[in-house]
Each structure stands twice: as structure tokens, then as C-alpha cells.
């Protein structure tokens, strides 16, 4: 395949950065891949695994001459990185990122950018609960959405090139405004993570039920929350710090609804509960129909389907 870019610079070599390195190498999407990471150990690991061609301690050295620069660090680091990289960015280069929030990222990066650099904020909706340079794999983006949130003055050609790059990584690309992205992610990703972190915290603090018991009987529901509550702490701290308005808005609605459920339980209003529980079942069906999950029952038994469902598909979208 003809390379999409001559020289790609990956800023941050964790799960996203290393997966990008792998997929670029696997499909020959660039002639050269440079990487930077704060920790020398991470840079060494990246070179040893071989998903980058060269590593640099200084982000400016990493981006020098690159025609695609992808920020793959926690979003709280973006302002400082943009400031450091700015003088070394090549005119005509595309700068994008993989951050889970977009409005605050634009505020953090835009003021530092020199003329002639195409800044197109992005967000691959892909990840696992693992982090670090050894967690990456080339298939991470396969069949997953990647959202791009171009600015009013974004160059059409640059946008088309970035879109083609993500498609070559296996993703489907969706374009939306930064504001709308932040609302969509607040409900589909940020609030679910917040609630998962919260219930795992609540469960660990109980005096009446031991942590050992919580773990032992976790397959009855709790377990499903612990997986997403195991995601990278610094990345998630930064997401909540940087999508405050949208998260607080969604959290307010969630709490209001929960108070109403609490009231229904206290006063024995079974009808209200049954109505909600019936409605939510339909949402699950839509998610399976849209290919965003498999119908296989998941009660700690990957690969043991019930009689009425098929084996989990290898690729779901």
C-alpha cells in the first residue's frame, strides 16, 4: 500500500500510541514513525518492540519534519506539549490527537500553533483497560469509530487525508462539532466510567461486606463495572477535569433519575421499576443489532453461548 504520510510522529507511546505504531507498520501507512515519551523506559520498550523507528526525549525533536503528528498522551499534557512542539512543526503538517474531550483540547492547543499547520482534533473510540507501550496491538482500531471534529477554518484536503489515514487503520470516521462530541462522549463514555469508578470505591469501603466477598461474588453484576474502573487513572482524571460542564450536566440527570428510582424502591412502586427495566432492554437489542456488541451471554464465560445465541464473532463491527 502507498504510504499515506512520509513521516508520522507519535507523542506518547501508551496503548493508543503503540497501537498506532503497530497498525502503521503493519499496513505500511508511513515511511518513518518517530515516537516520544517522558519515560526512558517507555522509549526503550517501544524501540525493543519495534513499533517506532526512532525515539526522542524532546517532543520538538520528535515532530521535526513530520507531516502527521498525533498526540496520544492524557489531555492534561496537551497545552505544554503544543508549546514545546510549536517551533519545530513543519508548515503543512497535520496535527491531530486521540483525546476523549475536544473543546478544552482546542483551547489548550490552538493558541500555540504556527501558521500553516493543520490542526484537526480527533478521537478514536477504541481502547482497552490496559495501558503502556506493551498494551498496543494493530487491530485496536478495526471496526471502531473515529470521530474528527474539524474547526471552521480546517482545510478540506487535510481533513480528507486524515480521514483516509484512520480508515486505513481500520476505523470508520464520523465528523461532528467539538461541542457535540463532548456531549456524546459525556453520556456514552465519561459518565459510565465515573459511575463504575464510584461503585467500585463504594464497595471497597464497606464494613458489613468484606472486599474478599465482593470479589468472590462479583460475577453477579459488579464485575462488569470493575473492568472499566481499571482504566488508566491519569488519563481519566484529565478527562473529567477537561469535560467538566458536559459531565456535570449528564451526572445531574443521572442523579435525578436515580433519586426517582430510589423513591420507587422505598415506596414499593413496582410498576415504575418494571417499566424502566423493560425500556432499557430495548436499548440493548439496538446495540446488538448495530453491531456494537455481540449477543453472547457474558457471565464470566466467554465462548460458552446459550442455545439461542451464536458464538461471539471475532470482529463485532
Smallest separation (angstroms) from its own copies to the CB of 152: 21
* Residues ≥6 apart with Cβ < 8 Å to 138: 19, 22, 23, 25, 26
Smallest separation (angstroms) from its own copies to the CB of 38: 16
Smallest separation (angstroms) from its own copies to the CB of 78: 15
Residues 66-95 that bind its own copies (CB under 8 A): 76
Residues 136-165 that bind its own copies (CB under 8 A): 136-137, 139-140, 142-145, 147
Judged by CB under 8 A, which stretch of 23-31, 91-99, 148-156, 266-274 contacts its own copies? 266-274
Chain mean position to CA 219 = 26
The three state secondary structure string of 205-234 is CCCCCCHHHHHHCHHHCHHHHHHHCCCCHH
∠ CA 244-250-253, rounded to 5°: 135
Under the binding rule (CB under 8 A), the answer on residue 13 touching its own copies is no
Q: Which is closer to its own copies, CB of 7 or CB of 190? A: 190
Smallest separation (angstroms) from its own copies to the CB of 186: 8
Binding test (CB under 8 A) with its own copies, winner from 8, 13, 62, 250? 250
Under the binding rule (CB under 8 A), the answer on residue 24 touching its own copies is no
Helix (H) and strand (E) counts in the chain:
13, 9
**Dihedral sign (CA 286, 292, 298, 303):** positive
Rounded to an integer, what distance in angstroms lies between the CA atom of residue 291 and that of residue 250?
A: 25
Under the binding rule (CB under 8 A), the answer on residue 315 touching its own copies is yes
Smallest separation (angstroms) from its own copies to the CB of 157: 27
**CB 23, CB 140: distance < 8 Å:** yes
Q: Is 201 exposed, middle or buried (0-12, 13-18, 19+ CB in 10 A)?
A: exposed
**CB 302, CB 312: distance < 8 Å:** yes
Smallest separation (angstroms) from its own copies to the CB of 111: 20
Judged by CB under 8 A, which stretch of 31-39, 65-73, 111-119, 185-193 contacts its own copies? 185-193
Smallest separation (angstroms) from its own copies to the CB of 94: 24
Under the binding rule (CB under 8 A), the answer on residue 41 touching its own copies is no
Residue carrying the nine cell digits 496520544: 72
Q: How, if at all, do strands 172-175 and 145-148 pair?
A: parallel
Residue carrying the nine cell digits 445531574: 252
Helix, strand or coil, per DSSP, at residue 6: strand
Q: Binding pattern to its own copies, positions 290-309, x when CB under 8 A?
A: x-xxx-xxxxxxxxx-xxxx
Residues 99-138 that bind its own copies (CB under 8 A): 100, 125-130, 134-137
Under the binding rule (CB under 8 A), the answer on residue 280 touching its own copies is yes
State the number of binding residues for its own copies (CB under 8 A).
126
Rounded to an integer, what distance in angstroms lies between the CA atom of residue 88 and that of residue 263?
A: 59
Residues 199-218 that bind its own copies (CB under 8 A): 199-206, 208-209, 211, 213-218
Q: Which is closer to its own copies, CB of 140 or CB of 169? A: 140
Smallest separation (angstroms) from its own copies to the CB of 51: 10
Amino acid at each position: 500500500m502507498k504510504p499515506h504520510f512520509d513521516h508520522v510522529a507519535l507523542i506518547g507511546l501508551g496503548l493508543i500510541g503503540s497501537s498506532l505504531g503497530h497498525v502503521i507498520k503493519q499496513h505500511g501507512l508511513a515511511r518513518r514513525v518517530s515516537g516520544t515519551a517522558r519515560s526512558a523506559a517507555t522509549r526503550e520498550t517501544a524501540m525493543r518492540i519495534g513499533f517506532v523507528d526512532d525515539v526522542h526525549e524532546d517532543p520538538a525533536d520528535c515532530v521535526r519534519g513530520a507531516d502527521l503528528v498525533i498526540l496520544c498522551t492524557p489531555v492534561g499534557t496537551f497545552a505544554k506539549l503544543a508549546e514545546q512542539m510549536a517551533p519545530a512543526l513543519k508548515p503543512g503538517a497535520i496535527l491531530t490527537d486521540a483525546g476523549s474531550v475536544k473543546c478544552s483540547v482546542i483551547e489548550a492547543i490552538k493558541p500555540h500553533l504556527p501558521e500553516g499547520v493543520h490542526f484537526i482534533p480527533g478521537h478514536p473510540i477504541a481502547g482497552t483497560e490496559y495501558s503502556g507501550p506493551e498494551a498496543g496491538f494493530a487491530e485496536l482500531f478495526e471496526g471502531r469509530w473515529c470521530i474528527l471534529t474539524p474547526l471552521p477554518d480546517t482545510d478540506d484536503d487535510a481533513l480528507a487525508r486524515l480521514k483516509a489515514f484512520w480508515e486505513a487503520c481500520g476505523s470508520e470516521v464520523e465528523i461532528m462539532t467539538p461541542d457535540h462530541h463532548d456531549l456524546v462522549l459525556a453520556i456514552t463514555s465519561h459518565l459510565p466510567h465515573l459511575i463504575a469508578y464510584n461503585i467500585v470505591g463504594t464497595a471497597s469501603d464497606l464494613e458489613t461486606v468484606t472486599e474478599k466477598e465482593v470479589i468472590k461474588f462479583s460475577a453477579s453484576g459488579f464485575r462488569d463495572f470493575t473492568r472499566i474502573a481499571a482504566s488508566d487513572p491519569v488519563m481519566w482524571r484529565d478527562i473529567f477535569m477537561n469535560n467538566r460542564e458536559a459531565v456535570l450536566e449528564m451526572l445531574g440527570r443521572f442523579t435525578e433519575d436515580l433519586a426517582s428510582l430510589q423513591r420507587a424502591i422505598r415506596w414499593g412502586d413496582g410498576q415504575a421499576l418494571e417499566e424502566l427495566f423493560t425500556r432499557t432492554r430495548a436499548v440493548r437489542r439496538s446495540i446488538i443489532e448495530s453491531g456494537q456488541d455481540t449477543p453472547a451471554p457474558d457471565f464470566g464465560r466467554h465462548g460458552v453461548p446459550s442455545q439461542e445465541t451464536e458464538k461471539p464473532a471475532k470482529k463485532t463491527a
